[in-house]
Amino acid sequence: MTRSGFLAVSAAALSILVYAPGASAAGADSAADGIAVRFSQESLDNPEDAARVYAKLKRASRKACGIGGGFLNLSERTLANRCYEQTLGDVVSKINRPLLTSVHESKPSQSG
């Protein structure tokens, strides 16, 4: 049986929307306000797939926080890094799956 869900997480004024295939139409409409990351719940049941989902979440967090989109001065970079760390941590926490949390906790903190 496939579990699907929809999750919205905000960090500062930015958001990442995480949902699985089969999410409600209302959830899909909300995706216009953030960055969508699609994955199946089953992809969080083995370490390799959880690592792939985590990589997607990292890319989406960087994009949502303005990292990699051009030049940032030191203060902008500092704020963007804080945003990234907070957003990624919030999303992993909200998804609340042991393997994903384990991947997150095992990775050094890097936004670049």
The full set of domain ranges for the chain reads 6-106
Please identify which residue in the block is written with the tokens 């907070």.
Answer: 86
Name the strand (E) or helix (H) holding 56.
Answer: helix 47-64
Strands (E), the chain: 6-11, 14-19, 35-38
Give the integer Cα–Cα distance in Å for 40 and 57.
13
pLDDT 10s per residue in the chain (112 long)? 334 433 333 343 334 455 555 444 444 444 445 788 888 888 899 999 999 999 999 999 999 898 987 888 999 999 999 999 999 999 999 999 999 999 999 987 655 5
CA distances from 32 to 1, 9, 15 (A): 28, 14, 10
